[in-house]
Amino acid sequence: MNSNIIQHITSCRLPTEYGVFQMHGFVDTRSNQEHTALVMGDVADGNAVLSRIHSECLTGDALFSQKCDCGAQLQAAMQAVQAEGRGVIVYLRQEGRGIGLINKIRAYALQDQGLDTVEANLALGLPVDARDFSIAKYIYEHLGVQSVRLLTNNPEKIQTLRDCGIEIVERIPLKVGENPENIGYLNTKADKLHHLLKD
């Protein structure tokens, strides 16, 4: 593991509605950004591990916003890991596709005026998606994870991880959380960001 990139700081037991996880705290030494991983079962036994790489979404994960499907995806991933009794959820602190909470709220305001998520970011002079999924590689290495069965709809995430040398043996769709408020958002993810949401 490249200890110059990621440092494991501490761990604790985390009982949740979806079972008991071991929670690990990491710091990315390049950005000083804090990340976490929720682990259930033995994930270092050499077998492919059920995993979700989830980017922080305060509005969806904690405030139950219906503008996105993020909270539903996180809950579905935790349920899937619980059902299997083994897995890893890497939680990356990359709010608003990496633009931060305040800019995300600004983008939401533009969406209220009719722009889609891509148009809103661009109107603010921000990247469409500034997230860096490569940090997951170093978290996986620390945990002893060698290959994953990835819960995702995002082909860019898959490609980034493969480019980093992470073996993805299976992609598992995560189509949850659709509601009348986020239909346009989901269509934009499918049509402009090429997320695998349509049959």
CATH number at residue 71: 3.40.50.10990
Q: Kindly state whether residue 26 falls inside one of the protein's structural domains.
A: yes
Residue 83's CB: how many other CB atoms inside 10 A? 12
Q: Kindly state whether residue 106 falls inside one of the protein's structural domains.
A: no
Q: Would you say how long the chain is, in residues?
A: 199
Q: Read off φ and ψ for residue 197, nearest 5 degrees.
A: -110, -10
Ligand-binding site membership of 13 (annotated): no
Active site residue 131: yes
Ligand-binding site membership of 54 (annotated): yes
Quick one: pLDDT at residue 65? 94
Rounded to two decimals, what is the model's pTM? 0.93
The answer to whether the CB of 121 falls within 8 A of the CB of 127 is yes
Task: State the catalytic residue, choosing from 112, 116, 129, 162.
Answer: 129
Active site residue 30: no
Q: Kindly state whether residue 197 falls inside one of the protein's structural domains.
A: no
Quick one: pLDDT at residue 54? 96
Instruction: Return all residues near 1 (Cβ < 8 A) that are at least 6 apart.
Output: 138, 141, 142
Give a three-class secondary structure readout of 141-180: HHHCCCEEEEECCCHHHHHHHHHCCCEEEEEECCCCCCCC
Count of structural domains, the chain: 1
The rounded distance, in Å, linking the Cα atoms of 10 and 5 is 16
Ligand-binding site membership of 172 (annotated): no
Q: Which residues constitute the domain of residue 143?
A: 6-94+131-192
Quick one: pLDDT at residue 197? 81
Task: State the catalytic residue, choosing from 61, 69, 106, 131.
Answer: 131
Per-residue tens of pLDDT for the chain, all 199 residues: 455 889 999 999 999 999 999 999 999 999 899 999 999 999 999 899 999 999 999 999 999 999 999 999 999 999 999 999 999 999 999 998 889 999 999 999 999 999 999 999 999 999 998 889 999 999 999 999 999 999 999 998 999 999 999 999 999 999 999 999 989 888 888 888 889 887 6
Quick one: pLDDT at residue 152? 95
Using the 8-state DSSP alphabet, how is residue 124 labeled?
A: T
Q: Kindly state whether residue 46 falls inside one of the protein's structural domains.
A: yes
Q: Kindly state whether residue 175 falls inside one of the protein's structural domains.
A: yes
Ligand-binding site membership of 134 (annotated): no
Q: Kindly state whether residue 139 falls inside one of the protein's structural domains.
A: yes
Q: Kindly state whether residue 126 falls inside one of the protein's structural domains.
A: no
Quick one: how far is CA 86 from the chain centroid? 18
Ligand-binding site membership of 56 (annotated): yes
Quick one: pLDDT at residue 108? 94
Ligand-binding site membership of 181 (annotated): no
